């Protein structure tokens, strides 16, 4: 649904208009995760443990999230003109208005984290469908009534986030995890400790993913960002599979009774994921050159090369996402953080060298190199800390091949691995 909407906006608004929307929504979205202190992944982890008390986890996350988001919102309002200094006044004003999404989305993510931790995958997926489906239908309605403007798109997103927040609270109450006032101070400390270790990686990982777009929004005209957003969207299709695998595998691994059992579960999950991800990469790489100008329009033909490079980068990123989620389920969120920090150094250096000279292609090359380094660090860390050898992760056998169908049903149906 998100891809369809991106196609419509690209065709109706062109590179400049699409770039303005991306710029206006960029920093509020980043500030949601910058202010989370890793509590989203901590909520999922502590909700998935065998002896967890999900209602206490949710209450603790909510009061901490209220304080954090209440701090981020005014900071973003003051700094937005500097963040978007190459954009016009309308884009800056719209981005400031969209900052309201920070507390709404952050608290919603905590609720979704509890559902993921309790393996309520069906409810989780329905709730996560509301925003992309609503955005798609709302965009069509705005166009039909000749109201497709930047401010109306921002208002639509805010309304959809409120709907998801309220729906999440209703679903949580129905499964017996209603919001209350009871908290646990020791649990809150443990959540912050775990979350902070993951948050270091989330910040640097977010920088790896978005730094190229941030610099384009600050330094280049909107058309460049519009082209790059299309390239990212096209290549990002393959990472939906990695996200689905991580969503189901992280709580499933964490439920293991012993460290060796959890480690073996991670090996099995990753081997099967790796096989399918290669097939996805080859298939998408073959169709992207024809697909981008056909779907988005001939004005976006210049995005093809960057999209192909980013597609290759997504192979590394998806593998890192699955393995990093597995490490977090093993109680080691710091491994993913170290990998992201290492990749951030590569991103900064290569963007500085390549973005001015090669434009969006240089940004794509920098991203691919950073993701490769990130994956290498995670593989090394799993081997050194958890005795999971690289060979055991990438070794393919006949059993892996013939059980792909059953394993895919686990991912899509949400059964325990």
Among 167, 198, 229, residue at a domain's last position: 198
Residue 296 domain-assigned (yes or no):
yes
Asked whether the CA dihedral 144, 147, 153, 159 is positive or negative, the reply is negative
Task: Indicate the average pLDDT of the chain.
Answer: 82
Same domain, residue pair 249 and 117 = no
Residue 304 domain-assigned (yes or no):
yes
Average pLDDT over every residue of 332-358: 84
Same domain, residue pair 243 and 391 = yes
Same domain, residue pair 252 and 339 = yes
Same domain, residue pair 4 and 139 = yes
> Considering the chain, what percentage of its residues have pLDDT values greater than 70?
90
Separation CA 11–CA 113 (nearest Å): 35
Segment 12-28, tens digit of pLDDT: 777 677 777 777 888 88
* 70, pLDDT greater than 60: yes
Same domain, residue pair 279 and 172 = no
Structure tokens of 315?
């192979």
Contact 23, 87 (CB under 8 A): yes
Per-residue pLDDT band for 400 (boundaries 50, 70, 90) equals low
Same domain, residue pair 175 and 313 = no
What's phi and psi for 297, nearest 5 deg? 115, 155
Residue ranges with strand state E in 180-312: none
pLDDT at position 397, please? Answer: 61
Among 149, 166, 198, residue at a domain's last position: 198
Among 196-200, 347-351, 385-389, the minimum mean pLDDT is found in 196-200
Residue 113 domain-assigned (yes or no):
yes
CA–CA distances in Å: residue 259 to residues 45, 225, 256, 375: 15, 45, 7, 22
Among 6-10, 114-118, 124-128, 371-375, the minimum mean pLDDT is found in 6-10
Separation CA 272–CA 410 (nearest Å): 12
Segment 75-131, tens digit of pLDDT: 888 888 887 877 778 888 888 888 989 999 989 999 999 998 888 888 998 999 999
Separation CA 389–CA 82 (nearest Å): 46
Separation CA 366–CA 202 (nearest Å): 18
pLDDT at position 222, please? Answer: 67
Structure tokens of 265?
């579960």
> Considering the chain, what percentage of its residues have pLDDT values greater than 90?
10
Residue 212 domain-assigned (yes or no):
no
CA–CA distances in Å: residue 26 to residues 33, 95, 207, 212, 232: 12, 8, 12, 12, 14
* 364, pLDDT greater than 90: no
Same domain, residue pair 303 and 356 = yes
Average pLDDT over every residue of 351-378: 87
* 159, pLDDT greater than 90: yes
Cβ-count burial 32-42 (b if 16+ within 10 Å, e if not): bbbbbbbbbbb
Same domain, residue pair 372 and 328 = yes
pLDDT at position 172, please? Answer: 92
Number of structural domains (the chain) is 2
* 282, pLDDT greater than 80: yes
DSSP state of 148: -
DSSP state of 49: S
Structure tokens of 413?
């149906």
Separation CA 147–CA 302 (nearest Å): 29
Structure tokens of 122?
């069906």
Segment 31-67, tens digit of pLDDT: 887 888 888 888 988 888 877 788 898 898 888 888 8
Per-residue pLDDT band for 409 (boundaries 50, 70, 90) equals low
* 412, pLDDT greater than 80: no
* 191, pLDDT greater than 80: yes
Between 175 and 216, where is the model more confident? 175
Separation CA 359–CA 223 (nearest Å): 12
Per-residue pLDDT band for 414 (boundaries 50, 70, 90) equals very low
Same domain, residue pair 194 and 228 = no
Residue 215 domain-assigned (yes or no):
no
* 417, pLDDT greater than 60: no
Separation CA 209–CA 363 (nearest Å): 10
Same domain, residue pair 233 and 194 = no
Contact partners, residue 180, CB within 8 Å, separation at least 6:
55, 59
* 198, pLDDT greater than 80: no
Residue 206 domain-assigned (yes or no):
no
* 217, pLDDT greater than 70: no
Annotate 291-302 with three-state secondary structure. Answer: HHHHHHCHHHHH
C-alpha torsion 296→297→302→308, nearest 10: 40
Same domain, residue pair 180 and 248 = no
Residue 374 domain-assigned (yes or no):
yes
pTM over 0.95: no
Among 198, 232, 253, residue at a domain's last position: 198
The helix-helix angle for 2-34 and 150-174 (nearest 10°) equals 80
Same domain, residue pair 363 and 299 = yes
Among 94-98, 203-207, 241-245, 261-265, the minimum mean pLDDT is found in 203-207
Residue 209 domain-assigned (yes or no):
no
Separation CA 281–CA 273 (nearest Å): 12
Separation CA 218–CA 99 (nearest Å): 18
What domain range is 353 assigned to?
Answer: 220-417
* 416, pLDDT greater than 60: no
* 7, pLDDT greater than 80: no
Average pLDDT over every residue of 171-196: 84
Task: Find tokens 């610099």 and name the residue.
Answer: 215
Contact partners, residue 391, CB within 8 Å, separation at least 6:
none
Contact 33, 202 (CB under 8 A): yes
pLDDT at position 169, please? Answer: 92
* 333, pLDDT greater than 50: yes
Average pLDDT over every residue of 377-401: 80
Q: What angle do CA 48, 120, 98 make, to 5 degrees?
A: 95
């Amino acid at each position: 649904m998100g891809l369809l909407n991106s196609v419509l906006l690209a065709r109706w608004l062109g590179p400049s208009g699409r770039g303005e929307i991306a710029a206006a929504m960029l920093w509020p979205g980043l500030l949601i995760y910058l202010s989370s202190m890793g509590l989203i992944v901590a909520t999922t982890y502590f909700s998935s443990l065998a002896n967890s008390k999900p209602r206490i986890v949710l209450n603790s996350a909510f009061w901490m999230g209220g304080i954090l988001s209440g701090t981020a919102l005014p900071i973003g309002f003051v700094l937005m003109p500097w963040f978007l200094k190459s954009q016009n006044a309308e884009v800056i004003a719209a981005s400031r208005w969209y900052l309201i999404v920070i507390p709404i989305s952050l608290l919603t993510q905590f609720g979704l984290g509890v559902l993921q931790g309790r393996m309520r995958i069906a409810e989780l997926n329905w709730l996560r469908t509301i925003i992309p489906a609503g955005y798609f239908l709302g965009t069509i309605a705005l166009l039909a009534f000749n109201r497709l403007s930047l401010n109306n798109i921002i208002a639509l997103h805010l309304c959809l986030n409120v709907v998801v927040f309220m729906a999440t609270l209703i679903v949580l109450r129905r499964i017996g995890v209603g919001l209350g006032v009871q908290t646990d101070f020791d649990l809150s400390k443990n959540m912050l400790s775990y979350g902070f270790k993951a948050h270091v990686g989330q910040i640097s990982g977010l920088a790896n993913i978005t730094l190229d777009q941030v610099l384009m929004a600050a330094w280049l005209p909107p058309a460049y960002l519009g082209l790059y957003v299309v390239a990212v969207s096209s290549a990002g299709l393959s990472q939906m599979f990695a996200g689905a695998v991580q969503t189901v595998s992280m709580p499933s691994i964490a439920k293991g009774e012993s460290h060796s059992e959890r480690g073996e579960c991670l090996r099995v999950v990753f081997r099967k994921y790796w096989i399918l991800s290669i097939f996805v990469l080859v298939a998408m790489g073959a169709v992207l050159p024809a697909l981008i100008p056909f779907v988005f329009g001939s004005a976006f033909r210049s995005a093809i090369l960057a999209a192909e490079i980013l597609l290759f980068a997504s192979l590394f990123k998806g593998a890192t996402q699955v393995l990093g989620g597995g490490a977090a389920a093993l109680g080691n969120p710091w491994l993913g953080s170290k990998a992201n920090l290492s990749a951030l150094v590569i991103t900064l250096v290569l963007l500085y060298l390549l973005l001015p000279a090669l434009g969006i292609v240089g940004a794509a090359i920098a991203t691919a190199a950073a993701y490769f380094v990130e994956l290498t660090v995670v593989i090394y860390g799993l081997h050194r800390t958890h005795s999971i050898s690289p060979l055991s992760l990438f070794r393919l056998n006949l059993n892996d091949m013939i059980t792909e169908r059953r394993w895919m049903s686990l991912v899509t149906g949400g059964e325990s691995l």
